[in-house]
Structure 1
Amino acid sequence: MPSSSRDSAAGAGWHGQRPGSYESLLPPTAKKLSWFDPGTLWKARNGPLASLFGDPTGEDRRRWVKGQLDRGVPPDLMIERDDPDSFSFMLFGDTGEGDAPQYAVVPGFLKASEGTRFTVLSSDVLYPVGSANEYGTKFFQPYQRYQAPIYAIPGNHDWYDGNTGFMRVFCDAPALPPAAPPAKLSRAWWRGLLWRRPEVPDEQRLAEARALRSAPAQQAEQPGPYWAIDAGPLRIIGIDTGLLGTIDAEQGQWLRRVSQGPRPKILVTGSPIYVDNKYEPCAIEGGGTVDEIVRDPDCHYVAAIGGDIHNYQHYPVDVHGRTIQYLVSGGGGAFMHATHTIARITTGGVTEDEFRCYPLRGDSLAFYSGVYGRRFHLRRFFELTSEQATAVISKRLGIRATRGTDARVTLRVRLVAALLGVAKQRRRRSWFRLPVRKIYAQLFSPGSVTFTPPFFKSFLRLDVTPQTLRIRCFAATGNLEQELDPPVEDEIVIPLG
């Protein structure tokens, strides 16, 4: 078993290891996506506009699904597979920035995915927007050597293109006809003044991209932006939470229908239900929540896995005497969201000892201290070693250090930890914090992207038998050692009987 970040700093990818082979996979046209580029932010403007002037996602999604049903897809949006009772598949999300951190995941993913039957992408296939014209270098090329189908659910960034690119690539759907014009001076009318329209696909460019994954074993056409897969003894249900993390009434009714029955189920969602020590049950238009369905004992859910947040988190929640595993799996390639800002775990009845995350909080703090040291040209002040960061996390949160350290927690170390958003065991508002993961400063977390290891990316492998479901979280640091033999950062065994 290779050393993981829970064993040593070297297992986490620190201390000058050799970079892996991922750079040889990068296309010559690959660009470093910058979230400080005004052009990038302008492309992604539909999210803020939807928050201010109303979200059209629900209505557009209904139109997409109606168009698919008119084309003859199964009315229950079910994907029937011929998998045996024992099989494996992969799952990861938030992948496609098309640069070094995304491609650094690929070698380890291909190694760990040997023998798997398919892969599920759990949110945000492309960044900054899901244009069909960018699928070549951000989807088809990185996964061209994976010889099995890939299914996906859209994330908010895919909806920044009206979900047009996503529906074309995964569902082979034609573009939506124009909607009826809104009433003048209505909220929708004001929204439409700045709303980003979907890009028109370049057919030749898209055909060339598709050729990279054209083998018969790689083909999969899914029925819509949300779907259910019957695979062996398991049902996997993927929902589309759109721009703002909710689902429309029609999708809610469908979810209640396909969730019935004794078959064990996994929910895949673009909006995690437990994340960052918070509970976000996901509202359904017209009433109710997604988590009410997940918790219903008649639905037999064993896990709910969400993307959108770019790290790994695990909350084993007791629901009336049975455990449902709530996971975040969004570390598939995009910039890393911090974990060191997660306070001592108190939500869902989960204890700190039961909670798991990757990167570990100490590694996240060390990573961000390097980011801010370089950004402000104050490396001697900001930069912490992984040992120092691990020690100060343990002290401030009052938790046991995941791996041993004898580093001293000096005044400078404590000050950097406070500035970078590390909570204290006793909740007390800091007089000043640099923006890391808060809503009011979303720009700074995307700005954390670096192009040298360790990257702290991750992906899941799920092994299914009639009796058990085993979920393993593998690390992708970008270093050669972890690339050749990806370390396991978390492992869960769920009884299905």
Structure 2
Amino acid sequence: MTDVPTARDLHAPADMVRWYAPLQLLQTASRVAVSTALGDQLDRRILRPTPTHELTDFSHRDQLVLDFVSDSGDGWNPTYAVAYWATRPILRVQGLHGRAYELPRASVLVFGGDQVYPTPSRAAYEQRLVLPYECAFERSDPPHPVLFAVPGNHDWYDSLATFTKLFLDKQWFCGWQVHQRASYFAARLPHDWWLVGVDVQLGSDIDANQVDYFRALAERMGPRARIILCTAEPHWVRAHEQRDRQARARRVRDGNLAFLERLFGPRIRVFLSGDLHHYRRHASADGQIQKITAGGGGAFLHPTHVLHDDPLVGGYGLRCAFPDHATSRRLAWRNLAFPLKNPSFGAVTGLLYLLIGWNMRAALGGPPPAEFLPALSDMLSATLRSPWAALWLLAIAGALVWFADARRLHLRVLAGLGHAAVHALAVLALAWLGGQLGRTLALEWNGPGELGLSLGLLLGLGWLVSAAIFGVYLLVAVNLFRRHGNEAFSSLRIQDFKHFLRLHIRRDGALVVYPIALRRVPRRWRTMIGADPGQPKRVPDDPHPDTRPGLIEAPIVLGPG
């Protein structure tokens, strides 16, 4: 599409978040720091308890269709693509082996967490979530569909203030009625199925109000109840990825998920979560308990090949991953183009190259030798003699050790120092190159021309080289060591491989889960002039065949009773 968001046009379609833009990094880091430090003191859940008897009841229906959409409000193309296809009256999807399905529109929509990126504000929600969904489904006819929302960590970065105004204090979200007054909820579905949504507030404990609410809910359920449990994080994946067996056992025993499993027992049949922006399904041996991560509602793609494939605690085996591991690994190679995909990132690292090189030159006292290795030795000595050059180098090394993704301290230090050493070598190589160009052009050492040329090279080539080194580091980390999955793929801002879940409770009481894939989201949209409020204002105008929805895998059926 040709629309470009501008600062003066709040309602312009949003581009994908540029996570490595320097100002964005600072803003996100400050929000995370404040919310982490003050989260417990600003816990809005305590102020908005839900009466233990409050419950949305759909049990009178003979069947029901429910959509689960998580991690949605990022760029326009993926967010609107999911909103557009999820709101079609009949969704026609291509299944495996040529089979086609016609699925009616859901009467319940569950947002599974992280409804907005990068940090919550009224403007961000309006541009990145409300605008796409209003464009797809501004108004509905009776019987109106119903909306529930689970807050994720990005929703909590303003202590849930904007989430509360948007989802809890209003009766409507675009064409959906809002049926919750707290950040957690429950609904009784047909054939003794139950929908439960939990708020774990930045990974902290479930608050006392929720404990009372869910305990009362458990007492109301009969022995044949079957629960669809929605959480903002896939705790089963987080626990499984802990290599420390004692830590894993402790988290399984004492975590929020363990509390809910003890409370509801084997009645939990489906675990749904987002947070990780890919599709990954684990299942019990008989297939009657499913643990599904489905964070494909609109945010950048997360890799699948960095996670372990062995069964989870309890014997839940991995049944499907989307994208598959080979595709995920291949996509990671795009980090070789890191400077092109994140052009402003090198401004900061290039400036650091300039500061180190400039101070090193001041301590060098004369042009470095023409031969590189002797010159490298002299420049390294000069760097260590210069307090400011050494200080900047130590600051970079410390930051890269902190950034390194490793469970053990010695590995983290090794990775960070190795990364820093490559940058240090690049600074010295660029400084040497500047000296050689000055010598070739017969410029006087530290004269205006030679100094300007050398510093210009440090800044300009440092901009490019430092970003390229960072991209190679991410590629090696994610493909060789299966680390830095979030950092390596947030840099790529991949719009494609989006998905959502459509769950159908049939008349016979069985639950069928359809994992809907958008392997490629449209890049172009055609505006529908004079469209009815119940109709989409834009429709896909991209001829690529992969923009049509299909199934990730065959429908998952949980039998009745």
Query: Which TM class, normalised by the smaller chain length?
Result: 0.5 to 0.7
**Distance in 2 between residues matched to 1:281 and 1:305, nearest whole Å:** 21
CA deviation after TM superposition for structure 1 residue 162, in Å: 1.5
**Aligned counterpart, 1:14:** none
**Distance in 1 between residues matched to 2:493 and 2:65, nearest whole Å:** 31
**Aligned counterpart, 2:230:** 268
CA contact (8 A) 2:71 2:277 kept: yes
- In the alignment, structure 2 segments of 5+ residues that lack a partner are 6-10, 92-102, 243-247, 342-471, 523-543
CA contact (8 A) 1:315 1:350 kept: no
CA deviation after TM superposition for structure 1 residue 220, in Å: 1.9
Q: 1:467 aligns with which of 494, 506, 509?
A: 509
Question: Is the partner of 2:203 in helix, strand or coil?
Answer: coil
**Distance in 1 between residues matched to 2:254 and 2:25, nearest whole Å:** 33
CA contact (8 A) 2:67 2:109 kept: yes
Residues 402-421 of structure 1 aligned to structure 2 (within 5 Å): 419-421=476-478
User: Which residue identity lines up with residue 295 of structure 2 in the other structure?
Assistant: G
TM-score by length of 2: 0.59
CA contact (8 A) 1:123 1:270 kept: yes
**Aligned counterpart, 1:33:** 17
**Aligned counterpart, 1:256:** 215
**Distance in 2 between residues matched to 1:467 and 1:36, nearest whole Å:** 48
Question: Is the partner of 2:331 in helix, strand or coil?
Answer: helix
**Aligned counterpart, 2:546:** 482
Distance 1:282 1:331, change over 3 A: farther
Distance 1:326 1:46, change over 3 A: same
Identity %: 23
Bigger helix share: 2
**Aligned counterpart, 1:332:** 297
Deviates more, 1:31-40 or 1:160-169: 31-40
CA contact (8 A) 1:273 1:326 kept: no
User: Which residue identity lines up with residue 289 of structure 2 in the other structure?
Assistant: I
CA contact (8 A) 2:215 2:263 kept: no
**Distance in 2 between residues matched to 1:109 and 1:166, nearest whole Å:** 22
- In the alignment, structure 1 segments of 5+ residues that lack a partner are 1-21, 174-206, 379-414, 424-429
CA deviation after TM superposition for structure 1 residue 227, in Å: 0.8
**Aligned counterpart, 1:389:** none
User: Which residue identity lines up with residue 275 of structure 1 in the other structure?
Assistant: V
**Aligned counterpart, 2:83:** 106
| Residue 235 (structure 1) aligned with residue 217 (structure 2) | no
Residues 152-163 of structure 1 aligned to structure 2 (within 5 Å): 152-163=149-160
Distance 1:153 1:485, change over 3 A: closer
**Aligned counterpart, 2:270:** 303
Question: Is the partner of 1:475 in helix, strand or coil?
Answer: strand
Distance 1:288 1:242, change over 3 A: closer
**Distance in 1 between residues matched to 2:250 and 2:105, nearest whole Å:** 34
**Aligned counterpart, 1:450:** 494
CA deviation after TM superposition for structure 1 residue 88, in Å: 0.7
**Distance in 2 between residues matched to 1:324 and 1:418, nearest whole Å:** 35
Residues 153-209 of structure 1: CA deviation (Å, up to 9, x unaligned):
111111112111111111117xxxxxxxxxxxxxxxxxxxxxxxxxxxxxxxxx9xx
Question: Is the partner of 2:271 in helix, strand or coil?
Answer: strand
CA deviation after TM superposition for structure 1 residue 32, in Å: 3.6
| Residue 374 (structure 1) aligned with residue 337 (structure 2) | yes
CA deviation after TM superposition for structure 1 residue 90, in Å: 0.6
Residues 12-27 of structure 1 aligned to structure 2 (within 5 Å): none
CA deviation after TM superposition for structure 1 residue 368, in Å: 1.6
**Distance in 2 between residues matched to 1:446 and 1:39, nearest whole Å:** 16
**Distance in 1 between residues matched to 2:547 and 2:155, nearest whole Å:** 29
CA contact (8 A) 2:516 2:549 kept: no
CA deviation after TM superposition for structure 1 residue 248, in Å: 2.2
CA contact (8 A) 1:273 1:281 kept: no
CA contact (8 A) 2:52 2:216 kept: no
TM-score by length of 1: 0.66
CA contact (8 A) 1:271 1:308 kept: yes
| Residue 341 (structure 1) aligned with residue 306 (structure 2) | yes
CA contact (8 A) 1:278 1:347 kept: no
Residues 392-414 of structure 1: CA deviation (Å, up to 9, x unaligned):
xxxxxxxxxxxxxxxxxxxxxxx
Deviates more, 1:79-88 or 1:289-298: 289-298
Residues 64-213 of structure 1 aligned to structure 2 (within 5 Å): 65-66=48-49, 74-81=51-58, 84-111=61-88, 112=91, 114-144=104-134, 145-146=136-137, 147=140, 148-172=145-169, 213=174
**Distance in 1 between residues matched to 2:41 and 2:293, nearest whole Å:** 23
Question: Is the partner of 1:473 in helix, strand or coil?
Answer: strand
Deviates more, 1:331-340 or 1:33-42: 33-42
Question: Is the partner of 2:132 in helix, strand or coil?
Answer: coil
Residues 216-255 of structure 1: CA deviation (Å, up to 9, x unaligned):
xx22241210011122232100011112354223323322
CA contact (8 A) 1:268 1:304 kept: yes
User: Which residue identity lines up with residue 163 of structure 2 in the other structure?
Assistant: F
Please tell me the root mean square deviation across aligned C-alpha atoms, in Å.
3.6
**Distance in 2 between residues matched to 1:461 and 1:252, nearest whole Å:** 29
User: Which residue identity lines up with residue 160 of structure 2 in the other structure?
Assistant: N
CA contact (8 A) 1:365 1:420 kept: no
User: Which residue identity lines up with residue 475 of structure 1 in the other structure?
Assistant: A
CA deviation after TM superposition for structure 1 residue 436, in Å: 3.0
Distance 1:57 1:345, change over 3 A: farther
User: Which residue identity lines up with residue 315 of structure 1 in the other structure?
Assistant: H
**Distance in 1 between residues matched to 2:266 and 2:27, nearest whole Å:** 40
**Number of equivalenced pairs:** 372
Flag the structure with larger Rg: 2
| Residue 220 (structure 1) aligned with residue 178 (structure 2) | yes
User: Which residue identity lines up with residue 333 of structure 1 in the other structure?
Assistant: G
**Distance in 2 between residues matched to 1:495 and 1:361, nearest whole Å:** 30
Distance 1:231 1:154, change over 3 A: same
**Distance in 1 between residues matched to 2:264 and 2:40, nearest whole Å:** 33
Distance 1:490 1:332, change over 3 A: farther
Question: Is the partner of 1:143 in helix, strand or coil?
Answer: helix
| Residue 494 (structure 1) aligned with residue 479 (structure 2) | no
Question: Is the partner of 1:347 in helix, strand or coil?
Answer: coil
| Residue 62 (structure 1) aligned with residue 52 (structure 2) | no
CA deviation after TM superposition for structure 1 residue 282, in Å: 10
**Distance in 1 between residues matched to 2:125 and 2:551, nearest whole Å:** 29
**Distance in 2 between residues matched to 1:282 and 1:76, nearest whole Å:** 33
Distance 1:475 1:221, change over 3 A: same
| Residue 361 (structure 1) aligned with residue 325 (structure 2) | yes
| Residue 313 (structure 1) aligned with residue 370 (structure 2) | no
Distance 1:369 1:489, change over 3 A: farther
